[in-house]
Structure 1
Amino acid sequence: MVSYLEELTVTEAENLKKTIRDLFRQTCILQVKYDPVTLTPRDNPRYEICMRHRGFIEDYLSVLGCGLKHDPQEHIFRLEGEGVAAERMSMTTTLLVLLLKLIYRDKILGEGLKATVTNLAEIREYGKNTNLITRKLTAAEWKEALYLMRMHQMIDLPGAVRDVEDHTPIYIYGTVNLYCTSADIRDLVEKYREELQEEQNVQDTEEEEDFETGEEDIYPDAD
């Protein structure tokens, strides 16, 4: 492996190392990325590196218990295998990913691939309509979710996550469908609705019990 790198130019070897680091950091490499504002496509040089050095990358990853999967239909390279660190998403982030999947599906069916752009206002509206988001999310929750989705190439933003406002365009990539692919979107939505309803029922029961206890305390000598 060392000899392979030594045969490359300094620039090519460095780009290859960066591409492997990106694979471990974001788990997938897209062939084309879009500017969320202009919808202008741009080729991803990391994808070209994967194409040119696919054999070397596969050999390198196999030593670490990982594999490199190429999806020619989605035009991505994806890291997979037991050696890949599992990403643990919070409940809120998981719900937001589900909402993006719904938005992506609706836009693909209605407007096509180049129009898969959303924003925080629309995401909130979908959350309200599906009853998946029943409260106002904190800035920290939005930041965590957007950062994770951007890191894993589910979305693209025109600037930093901290600068995203209600109507800042957010481009959704087809890679959003790589998450939670073992079940149908509708089943997942229904599952989380049921869980949220159960949590609400428990909360209502606790509030009723507290209220009844309070009534007993108010009139201790009523008899």
Structure 2
Amino acid sequence: MFTYLEELTVTEAEQVRKTIQALFRQTCILQVKYDPATLTPRDNPQYEICARHRGFIENYIEVLGCELIHDAQEHIFRLSGEHMPRENLSLTSTVILLLVRLIFRDRIMGEGLNAPLTTLREIREYGKNTNLITEKLTQAQWREALYLMRMHQVIDLPGAVKDVEDDTPIYIYSTVNLFVTAADINALIEKYREEEDEYETAEEIIYPDTDQ
């Protein structure tokens, strides 16, 4: 297997290694990435590396118990399989990811080919309207969610995560569908509403109305 790398130039062999590392770090590689500030598309060199060296990469990651999936419709390469790295999302990050998926769905369904952009302000508004965010989140919680989504190619944004403000444009990629399906949305919303109802009931028991 490694004879294949030895037959490549030093530069190209290093590009293949870095592409494999990127796959395991971020789960998927998109063909086109966007600058959310200008909406300028640019080709992703690592996608071309995946396409050119697909056979070798497939064999390599198969040894590690994973599979390389090419989604021709979405124009991405992604990892699959029982042994692929798993991200343990916190409850807050899961909720924010769910809200981003809801916004993406509304953008695509309601505005056709218009860019699926959002902002922290809009995510908070969706959280309030769906009752999925019932308290003020800390900056650390927002940064954790944004960092993970950016790392896994779910969103893109101008500059560093720490510099994101309320109205900073956040570009949502269709890869959000890989992490949260329509069925997941309905199930999670129902789950969180049930948990909220249970919490409110518990509060009523602990703090009964003294006027009665």
- Give the alignment's TM-score, normalised by structure 2: 0.94
5+ residue gaps, structure 2, are: none
5+ residue gaps, structure 1, are: 213-223
Q: What is the match of residue 178 of structure 1?
A: 178
1:183 is paired with a residue whose SS is: helix
Equivalence map 1:1-223=2 (5 Å):
1-181=1-181, 183-208=183-208
For residues 32 and 16 of structure 1, do their structure 2 counterparts lie closer, same or farther at Cα, with a shift above 3 Å needed? Answer: same
2:23 is paired with a residue whose SS is: helix
Q: How much does 1:179 deviate?
A: 1.2
Alpha-carbon RMSD: 1.6
Structure 1 stretches of 4+ with a deviation exceeding 6 A read none
For residues 202 and 152 of structure 1, do their structure 2 counterparts lie closer, same or farther at Cα, with a shift above 3 Å needed? Answer: same
| Aligned-partner Cα distance in 1 for 2:20–2:200 | 45
Amino acid in the other structure paired with 1:30: L
1:133 is paired with a residue whose SS is: coil
Question: Once the two structures are superposed, what CA deviation does each residue of 1:134-193 show, in whole Å capped at 9, x if it has no partner?
Answer: 111000100110011111110001111100000000000001111133725233322222
| Higher alpha-carbon Rg | 1
Q: Percent identity among equivalent residues?
A: 69
| Aligned-partner Cα distance in 2 for 1:32–1:136 | 35
For residues 159 and 68 of structure 1, do their structure 2 counterparts lie closer, same or farther at Cα, with a shift above 3 Å needed? Answer: same
Q: Is 1:127–1:133's contact at 8 Å kept on the other side of the alignment? A: yes
| Aligned-partner Cα distance in 2 for 1:34–1:114 | 13
| Aligned-partner Cα distance in 2 for 1:186–1:102 | 10
Q: Is 1:39–1:114's contact at 8 Å kept on the other side of the alignment? A: no
1:69 is paired with a residue whose SS is: strand
